[in-house]
Every structure is written in structure tokens, then in C-alpha cells.
Amino acid sequence: MSKNQLSGAQILLKALNDQGVDVIFGYPGGAVLPIYDELFKQNKIKHILVRQEGGAVHAAEGYARSTGKVGVVLVTSGPGATNAVTGLLDAMMDSIPLVCICGQVPTHLIGNDAFQEADTTGITRPCTKHNYLAKDIDILARQIHEAFLVAKSGRPGPVVIDLPKDVMMAQGDYISSAKVIHKSYRPQIKGDISKIEEAVKVIAGAKKPIIYAGGGVINSGPQASQLLNQLVQMTDFPCTLTLMGLGALPASDKHFLGMLGMHGTYEANMAMHDCDVMLCVGARFDDRVTGRTDAFSPNSTKIHIDIDPSSINKTINVDIGIVGDVGHVLEDMIKVWKSGQNRCDEKSIKSWWKTINKWRERKSLSYDKDATVIKPQYAIERLYELSKKHNEVYITTEVGQHQMWAAQHFHFEHPNRWMTSGGLGTMGYGLPAAIGVQLAHPKALVVDIAGEASILMNMQEMSTLVQHNLPVKVFILNNECMGMVKQWQELLHGGRCAESYMQALPDFVKLAEAYGGVGLRATKKEQLDSVIGEMIASDRPVIADIAVDPKENCFPMIPSGAAHNEILFSAADKLGAEVSEDGMVMV
């Protein structure tokens, strides 16, 4: 044994240092104790102890999404790993770079149903981008470096390293990341220039174009958002963003039509439906966006830029598919555009804007501003207005009506400021995600816009906030029901609201105090501003319990299985026809 050899646990920490990791989120247990022992002996990497492993993964997601770096998780074997599964799939669906290190029982016990044993690589195979069972100390360092490479490059995603305890304690050699070249993994970064030229031609000829951009723009880095902005200004094209893409184009930009999809604006969805050229940039034609696929944007030539070849022609057939990183492709596209002295059909674009502005006048996000009760939309508008003076504002959400209202009424001028569970729709995401965001941005105002049902799914993480002095603000739109479930039951199930009422809710003010945070409450409209003000001013974790109108539903809405032009504006709008059976089975 050479003198330079290290234990597996030491190799892990050295590799994490090499990768520039400054914080990991985790929870100890028997199978990871050698790693915790090494963590104890050093000061470079900060460990954030969560209260349940699911929280660790969401926290790492929040960290990753707000910084663009890889989030790192450390959990023990068996239940530690299985508790992490939901977060891993969440990161998979939303393309978030994570490395999750799971302890495992020693190699000679694997397969013996040992205490706290789980087939972690088997369980996580379909919900990770890749995973490793690290049985060999000699290639451990290589595997860790590979895991970071796979997690952050190409279409980002979560990678699991399942590390048996005996390998943590075995001795082996370290190799640095510079020496690791992956054998097979080669994501395509640059787009095919001939296809880009073809796309530019189509764009130049467009009469009713739309740019539909998504999370791929955010994932590509801030530069990609600037390029998108440049393209929009250059062409004067309207642009809509997906839930994942909010912030990629400043919400205040006049070309921004708002979010599209099931709860998107009328103008965004109508423009998608009626356009003649659609430029999809880093989005994936998700079912929340397309509605009924056979009625989706029937008369358009579609161009799709995506780093993941499997996203192209998956649900919607496109005319030009460009595989590559959004930033690189947009850069080339702008170059080609400029070099060819391309000009848009200004007259047609102008008349297209006229049509769009008519749709805008419909004011699809309007609500009853004169109501005496607190409308949830109003609460978010006030939160937005009152948080404006803060330099850096980051918003996380849980999942449900409040999430959609936040997406509609909170406006994002920059990328990486909006963290929400889009693909998987994980209730309980927002509070732990806010932990990761606040850690990465200690001076920022970090607000978890929550519902009273979702927040209870990971409420225990309040304890983490208090332990680590993280002044996250939890802004609960409390309507005393699972709003989105109830909304669907009202729309599609004859108003039979089975199990969607939250009975025996806790007193959130007392609950905040019990954890050692600050509890605030607004039940009347006139209390709202002062409660928000007090919440923002506090340097401690706060729960603000806002009693909102329980009758309010989230509109506009494209019912499941309907087309973009079959949008509902309010509860008073009757469904055009009975929702078909095909529609009823959709979620």
C-alpha cells in the first residue's frame, strides 16, 4: 500500500473539493458514518442537516437552480435512499443537476436483506440520469468525477452514487478530475449549422411568429437568456415562456405574452394556436403546454432547439429539429441572421401584434380587485410590489393553485430566480428548496409561496431553517382546502369535493413560534401590506398565514383534453361541450 492512499470517504471529500462543492445537504445514518467522520474533520464543505432526506434533495435542487451549480446530497442506505427518490425524480423531470451520494451496506452483505439495505441503484435507475454502485475503490474517484460531468453537462439531471460502507473504509488512490475522460458520454453542444440556416430562413418569412421558450434557456446559463432577449428585440417577435422558463425574458418586456399552457394567458395560448411559425427554444411540448395534441398549433411550421435529441418529435412532430445547447444555437442563429442581412416581414408582424393586442385586452388574468376578502391573486401582487425594493428576490413554491397564481402574478426580470416543481408537481417542494436558495444567496429575500396543504408535507424543515439561521419567508395562501384538487372536482366531478378539505389545520402562527421562527397572520385585506412588510423586514424565518378567499379558482384554464382556443376565463364560463372521455382520463 503506497503512502498516498486514502480511504474511500477521504477520496469522496477530496473529489467534492476538486469539484468546487461548498455545501452538501444530508442526513446521517449507519451506512454513511465514515463520511460524516471525515466531514467532521474539515471545514471547507458545509453540511446542512435537514429533517428528512426528501428535504435534502429539494434543498439541493433549490441550490442548483438558483446558482447553476451542481447540488450535492448525502443520505444513508435503505430508508435514507428511498426517501430521496421523489426529489431525484423531481430533478430528473425538471433537468436539475444533482449528485446524490447514498450509503450502502458493505458489499459482502448486498443481496442479503441486511439491515437498512435497499437496491438503491435498482430503485433509482428510472428516476436518475445515471447511477453507480461504487464497489471498487480503485475507480471511485473516477466515478465521482464522472457523476459530476454527467449531472451538469448535456441535459442536466440527477446522478446517484451508491457507496457501500466497506468501500468508504478501503484504501485507494485519488485521481483528479482533469484526468477523467468519459468513455461514451458525449452530449451534442453545437447545433447543425445547415439546420440553423434553414431555421433562419423560415423565421425571416414568418408572418405570425411566436417564440416559445422554456427551462432549457435557464439551464444553458444567463448568457442564453441574454441571447434570447437579443433575438426577441432583433425580430420583434412575441415570446411566451413555460413555467420552467419564467425569467428567461424579463417579464416587463413588451414582447412577453406571459406564461402559456393550462393556466397561461389568453394571448400566449391564442398566439400559439394561430401562429404560422413556432420557434421552441429549450422547452419540451409538455402536456400542460400543448393541451390536446391533435389540435395543437395546427397551421405552424415548427422549429425546435433542444439539447436532448429524445425531446425532439416526442409528442409533437416538428419541421426543423436542432439538437444542441440553447446558448450555442441561439448565438449561431443570431450570427446567421445578421450575416444574411435578414429582415422580418415588418408589415405582417405589425398586423400580428394588432391581433395579439386584441387578445391582451381580454385581460385574462384579471380578478375582482374590489373584493373585501383577500383574493389570492391580490396577495401575490402585493407581495410582488412590496418586495420590489429588495435587490435580489427568489421565489420558490409548493404545488397547486398558489403555484399557478404565483407564476401568473409574480413577475421575474432575471433567470434563476424562480424555483418550482414543474414536471413532477411535488407538493412539499418549496420550503426545502428555499433552504438551498437562501444558503446560496444569504443576503437575498427568499420567499416560499405556499398553500396550507403543501406546506404541511415538509413542515419539519422549519427546524432546519432555524438551526442554520436561514431567514426564509413562508407565505401561505390559506384557503383551507386543496385548491387545485377542489377546482378539478368542481369542474369535472359534479362538485363532489372528496377529501379535498383540510380539516384540523394547525395554527400556523403558533407552529412558526414552536419551531423558533416568527408567525404572522392576515385575515383582512387592510392587514395584508403590514404583514408582508413585517415579514420582509424580519431577519428570521417567518411563516405568514394569509387567509385568502376559499372560493377563488385559478383561471384562465384550458381543461384537460381541450385545445388552446377552448380556454375558460372564469367559473361562470361553461365548458363548451361535455368534457370527453379522453379528456376525463387526462390529469
H or E element at residue 518: strand 518-522
Active-site residue set: 53, 115-116, 165, 484
The only residue of 183, 343, 347, 574 in contact with other proteins, by rule CB under 8 A: 183
Q: Tell me whether residue 49 is exposed, middle or buried, using C-beta atoms within 10 angstroms of its C-beta: 0 to 12, 13 to 18, 19 or more.
A: middle
Report the site for other proteins in 473-532 (rule: CB under 8 A).
none
How far is it, in rounded angstroms, from Cα 330 to Cα 249? Answer: 14
CB of 228 to other proteins, least distance (A): 25
DSSP secondary structure letters along 535-550: HHH-SS-EEEEEE--T
Q: In the structure grid, which three cell numbers stand for residue 319, read together?
A: 419541421
The only residue of 44, 46, 108, 125 in contact with other proteins, by rule CB under 8 A: 125
Cβ proximity of 574 and 397 under 8 Å = no
CB of 313 to other proteins, least distance (A): 6
Nearest CB to other proteins, comparing residues 308 and 529: 308
How far is it, in rounded angstroms, from Cα 117 to Cα 407? Answer: 41
Nearest CB to other proteins, comparing residues 184 and 503: 184
How far is it, in rounded angstroms, from Cα 326 to Cα 305? Answer: 6
Nearest CB to other proteins, comparing residues 21 and 149: 149
Q: Would you call 263 helix, strand, or coil by DSSP?
A: coil
CB of 314 to other proteins, least distance (A): 6
The only residue of 39, 85, 96, 133 in contact with other proteins, by rule CB under 8 A: 133
CB of 123 to other proteins, least distance (A): 11
Nearest CB to other proteins, comparing residues 19 and 311: 311
Nearest CB to other proteins, comparing residues 37 and 119: 119
CB of 180 to other proteins, least distance (A): 14
Q: Tell me whether residue 107 is exposed, middle or buried, using C-beta atoms within 10 angstroms of its C-beta: 0 to 12, 13 to 18, 19 or more.
A: middle
121 binds other proteins (CB under 8 A): yes
Integer angstrom CA distances of residue 282 from 139, 188, 279, 376, 579: 35, 14, 10, 31, 31
570 binds other proteins (CB under 8 A): no
CB of 324 to other proteins, least distance (A): 14
Q: Please give the backbone phi and psi of residue 396, each rounded to the nearest 5 degrees, phi first.
A: -115, 165
Q: What residue has cell string 478501503? A: 170
372 binds other proteins (CB under 8 A): no
The stretch near other proteins (CB under 8 A) out of 123-131, 449-457, 514-522, 543-551 is 123-131
Nearest CB to other proteins, comparing residues 186 and 496: 186
Cβ proximity of 82 and 27 under 8 Å = no
Query: Which residues are within 8 A (CB) of 476 and not within 5 positions of it... i.e. 6 or more apart?
Result: 450, 451, 452, 455, 508, 543, 544, 545, 546
313 binds other proteins (CB under 8 A): yes
Count of residues in contact with other proteins, rule CB under 8 A: 20
The stretch near other proteins (CB under 8 A) out of 59-67, 231-239, 310-318, 333-341 is 310-318
- Contacts to other proteins by CB under 8 A: 121-122, 125-126, 129-131, 133, 150, 183-186, 308-310, 312-314, 317
